Structure 1
Amino acid sequence: MYPPTRVCIRPGCKYIEGRRKGQQRQLSHRTSTNVVYLSREFGPLPATCHSMSCSKCNDRYYPDFFVDQESHSRAYYGGIPTALHVTTHMFIEAPLCDRWTNSSACAWVSFTNNARIYNLEHQESLATFPRSWSVEPELLPTIASDAFFLFALLRNRMERRTHLVLSNNGDQSARLEPALLARNASMVGPAREKWNHICDKCCSIEEHDGELGFIRATVMDGITIGRPCCKVHDCQEPLPSQRSRFCATHSSKNDDCAVVGCTGKVTAGFQTCQDPSHRTLEDPTNRSSLFVLRRRLERLRTASLEGDGNAVTDELVDIDADGECPSKSDEGNTKPHARFGRRRTHNEQLVVATCGIILGRATMFGSEGIDGVRKHLNAVGDTYFDNCVMPVDPFHAKTKHKETDMFCAQYCNAAQFPDLLKDGKWRFNSSAAEMTNAWFGGFQAMVREMRECRYDFFLDEMILIRNRIITADLVKARAHPLEVPYEFFGLSV
């Protein structure tokens, strides 16, 4: 594999004399590296990667990118390369990355399972791979993960007609992070693809007093998919590492006792203060399976003796005249509770059109409360629907809300809005959010240990792919999907 150019592409790198005067400088100083080429059809193949440099600016050109020596960055060429240079010694075919991405979106296949499936599919190629080759051919989950994110970034830049530029320092995981954060920021609010979607299944056009108007229906619901976050309630600052319990701002709380409500300080080697009842909670033997099973067995024996009524005891128990036990604590029978591990975000809030297109996503850190939902709606940046009614969808009204809730019955009952009914039936499919949650929940095990930037990027990428699949289905169903111009909402994106 060679660079796609034989000359330096810098405008200033031209010959200034001789018969090539004015022409771009030829690349030279070729070096070769043994690599593994992961193909979709033939499995892992031994290959050689050639790179060349410019004698004037010293930029080095590789098959997928060139390294700028001044900024210490690697700039990718336009479009998606035939094979992605994922690590120094590993190339992966772009169609293979595309297949892994679609497998994750459609069948919840994790990076680990994508790697396992590939290795199982090509066991013969792995067995016959040259043992003298300096690179191991087996695909690892970490490489499959980096390939997914790199492929998604390159595809995004190709669609936006820009070039991907990454740092040339550090490992691939750290190198991708700034680009992932920038992509995440570009997906917030109205900038999300399909945010302005409408079709016959989520929008109804009506004529009132000679003027055309339309009703656009969406459903918002939350699903419990969490990632590690700061243990301080509702704190949204990122963690220094995946194993940290507090963010940098609240790092001093690492010295506080892990028992909820306790203000004592911990001692070296412990997460609790010196209170014996608190220290007992930290004893790992109390949480082991053997300890738990033995305690259950003791309770069972005690219950059996009490049930027989034949147990005799010589113990005398003093009882006050008022029937109170003098040894009982004034605080009642409450036991201390501790939180030793990391806190996780509470849920992901999805805004779903009744056709199934996901219009928005936000992470709820502390709870799925009314105020959190309000903040999410404000963060979307849409003021066009400030006077919009928000009834409870029929599924939740029937299964989650009490009949005695008079406020909900008076203001949020969907049956009292004639525009939501047509010929005695619901005009829109209000169960779209529940069906979407069933799909979205399949990613819980895949993302639970991801860092914040990868967590957001992965979920947004899955939503993007699903939305495009649903849009194609809507076209086949002749539901006439289209995107409303942003000027209609008073926005410019």
Structure 2
Amino acid sequence: MQIVHFIIYSAKVKDNIIITQSAHHNSAIPPKNISPAVQQFLAERHVILFTFDKGVILGYSVHLYCDQCNTNFHHNYTVKDGVCTYYSGVPEFLQAGEHHFVERKLVNLWIHLILTAWTSASACTDTYNEVLAQPPLQDWPFSSLLRPEHVWDAFTLLCLMEDYERRKFVLQVPHSGDQKYRFSDATSCVVTNGMTIRYPCCAVHNCKVPLTSRCDRFCLQHKELHKVCSIIGCDRAIVTGSKVCSDQTHISVEKAYNEHGQSHFQLQQRLRSVCIASAVTTTGDPNDKAAEEDFNVDAAGNTIPATTQFGQKRTHNKQIIVAPCGVIIARTTFFGAKGVRSVAEFIKQTYRSVPFVPDHVFYNNNCHMKKSVANDPFFDHIALTVDVFHFKSKHSSTDLYYQSHCNLVDYSELLGEDGQGWFFNSSIAEQTNAWLANYLSICHEMHRDRFNFFLDEMIIRQNRSTVSKLRSQDAMPDYWSADMFE
């Protein structure tokens, strides 16, 4: 349908093109000269096309407007009443910015590198600009260099369009607003063991309301806490231009916090052996300022304990459930802590809506979770054993409760042939954690929606790869459905 619209509306500029040509011009050959009106029309629509094997191509993007239905027709989508509606199917060239298009083959290359080699968007950008770009010699109104935001926007758009096409839905996003936030609603709708990959969250314990900005400390519901002293336990109002109240000790703590990490202070610290203990809450950038830090200093330089909340808090961890074959079944975010009750609730939420539950759940802390769910009928027929990875390292042979309730040896169906080895890979969650942990540096500065969407997309693609390998090994992987249990 969009091709028909293009032909209809582009025919309207035919006369403007023909009038500047000679009477003998062959209409099958593109003209060398075009009218000033058409030149002006094209001049306002310069674009850059990043291709897989032809480098950077300079071009024009023509969009047409229908005054009957008040619709703008663009290359990938239509715009009406402030809403972008994408065409069905996945195009060969994706619009990753107002003046930037990316070939789908190139985007798939980036996705494969991110999935298999944990390549960052910056590394993809540098590689393309240095190796594949072949920059054009002609001057253009804007730079022909690929930027990391082009990689992320193309990644997001391709993944969304493939997902919506697979489900036969129509992708719609706002036409206005910042490019990096236009897809927030769409990405937020897509969707054991824990790994420490975290994103910024509200500093109030267990608050799940997303932050408005990646730099905020509190969500909108708790925004008034920005005006409260950042020393934990102090509820006095802050002084203008500061994050603490007028208490001189608290002012000294803030000064120490601000100086901490600066090279001048670090040299002074080594020289005078001044001790300021810091409990960093994130395993990412070493220059990050943590949400809660412990300082031992007062206005006179005396040693006193003071727990602060100057910096940004992050979620506690990601928790995953993995089948022994390697397929990741579910993941969730723990905001406060990875307690056994939270893990138990995660398992229940995962299997509550399906007609089956697993016979066995391997978890490194099952000895404590077994006690916690002793009176929960949901776990009556689920054996809770400790995975082999933690069999020797975490549990003592003198732990009678563990030996009698959580030992894999007690279950003959878990043993390998002739009682040797194990039938299932009970350490698959730890191995999957090692794969996911490599995304830590990539995810570190993402806002919540992109963070969750990115990890979901990596998990989906990793699952496809796992299932494909299992099929090649004649392992006959399949999905369980309700019909199998009727």
Deviation (angstroms), 1:269: 1.5
Asked if 1:54 corresponds to 2:66, the answer is yes
2:169 aligned residue? 162
Shift of the 427–268 alpha-carbon distance from structure 1 to 2, 3 Å rule, reads same
Offset from partner CA, 1:420-458 (integer Å, 9 cap, x none): 113222111112111111110011111111111111000
**Mapping for residues 320-335 of structure 1, pairs under 5 Å:** 335=305
1:75 aligned residue? 85
Q: Which amino acid letter does the alignment assign opposite residue 271 of structure 2?
A: L
Match of 2:426 among 424, 427, 430: 430
Instruction: Tell me if structure 1 keeps the 8 A contact 2:9–2:64.
Output: no
SS in 2 for 1:464: helix
2:142 aligned residue? 135
1:393 aligned residue? 387
Instruction: Tell me if structure 2 keeps the 8 A contact 1:29–1:52.
Output: no
Asked if 1:266 corresponds to 2:238, the answer is yes
**Mapping for residues 256-335 of structure 1, pairs under 5 Å:** 256-283=228-255, 284-285=258-259, 287-299=261-273, 335=305
SS in 1 for 2:402: helix
Bigger relative contact order (CA 8 A; separation at least 6): 1
SS in 2 for 1:46: strand
Deviation (angstroms), 1:26: 5.5
**Uncovered stretches (5+) of structure 1, i.e. residues with no partner:** 9-23, 188-219, 301-331
Tell which deviates more after alignment, 405-414 or 245-254. 405-414
Shift of the 52–351 alpha-carbon distance from structure 1 to 2, 3 Å rule, reads same
Deviation (angstroms), 1:462: 0.2
1:64 aligned residue? 76
SS in 2 for 1:407: helix
**Mapping for residues 36-435 of structure 1, pairs under 5 Å:** 36-68=48-80, 71-122=81-132, 125-126=134-135, 128-131=136-139, 133-183=140-190, 187=191, 220-283=192-255, 284-285=258-259, 287-299=261-273, 335-382=305-352, 384-385=356-357, 386=378, 387-422=381-416, 423-424=418-419, 425-435=421-431
Q: Which amino acid letter does the alignment assign opposite residue 418 of structure 1?
A: S
Deviation (angstroms), 1:7: 2.8
User: 2-side partners of 1:404 and 1:228: how far apart?
Assistant: 41
User: 2-side partners of 1:409 and 1:262: how far apart?
Assistant: 47
Shift of the 26–138 alpha-carbon distance from structure 1 to 2, 3 Å rule, reads closer
Deviation (angstroms), 1:268: 1.3
Q: Which amino acid letter does the alignment assign opposite residue 318 of structure 2?
A: E
2:372 aligned residue? none
Deviation (angstroms), 1:119: 0.4
Deviation (angstroms), 1:41: 0.4
Q: Which amino acid letter does the alignment assign opposite residue 199 of structure 2?
A: R
Deviation (angstroms), 1:378: 2.8
Instruction: Tell me if structure 2 keeps the 8 A contact 1:28–1:55.
Output: no
RMSD, matched Cα = 2.3
User: 2-side partners of 1:36 and 1:285: how far apart?
Assistant: 44
Asked if 1:6 corresponds to 2:19, the answer is no
Q: Which amino acid letter does the alignment assign opposite residue 285 of structure 1?
A: E
Shift of the 464–120 alpha-carbon distance from structure 1 to 2, 3 Å rule, reads same
Instruction: Tell me if structure 2 keeps the 8 A contact 1:348–1:363.
Output: yes
Question: What TM-score does the superposition give when structure 1 sets the normalisation length?
Answer: 0.77
SS in 2 for 1:106: helix
Asked if 1:441 corresponds to 2:441, the answer is no
SS in 1 for 2:69: coil
Instruction: Tell me if structure 1 keeps the 8 A contact 2:202–2:209.
Output: yes
SS in 2 for 1:117: helix
Shift of the 287–80 alpha-carbon distance from structure 1 to 2, 3 Å rule, reads closer
User: 2-side partners of 1:25 and 1:42: how far apart?
Assistant: 31
Deviation (angstroms), 1:381: 4.2
User: 1-side partners of 2:400 and 2:232: how far apart?
Assistant: 36
1:34 aligned residue? 46
Q: Which amino acid letter does the alignment assign opposite residue 437 of structure 1?
A: N
Q: Which amino acid letter does the alignment assign opposite residue 342 of structure 1?
A: Q
Tell which deviates more after alignment, 418-427 or 92-101. 418-427
SS in 2 for 1:390: strand
User: 1-side partners of 2:141 and 2:4: how far apart?
Assistant: 28
Tell which deviates more after alignment, 89-98 or 334-343. 334-343
Q: Figure out how many residues of one structure are paired with residues of the other and give that number.
A: 402
User: 2-side partners of 1:231 and 1:430: how far apart?
Assistant: 35
SS in 2 for 1:274: coil
**Uncovered stretches (5+) of structure 2, i.e. residues with no partner:** 14-40, 275-301, 358-377
Asked if 1:462 corresponds to 2:467, the answer is no
Instruction: Tell me if structure 2 keeps the 8 A contact 1:74–1:168.
Output: yes
Match of 2:477 among 475, 481, 490: 481
User: 2-side partners of 1:285 and 1:172: how far apart?
Assistant: 36
User: 1-side partners of 2:123 and 2:386: how far apart?
Assistant: 39
SS in 2 for 1:166: strand
User: 2-side partners of 1:392 and 1:50: how far apart?
Assistant: 61
Question: What TM-score does the superposition give when structure 2 sets the normalisation length?
Answer: 0.78
User: 1-side partners of 2:114 and 2:427: how far apart?
Assistant: 24
Shift of the 404–340 alpha-carbon distance from structure 1 to 2, 3 Å rule, reads farther
Shift of the 403–266 alpha-carbon distance from structure 1 to 2, 3 Å rule, reads farther
User: 2-side partners of 1:451 and 1:295: how far apart?
Assistant: 34
User: 2-side partners of 1:7 and 1:256: how far apart?
Assistant: 58
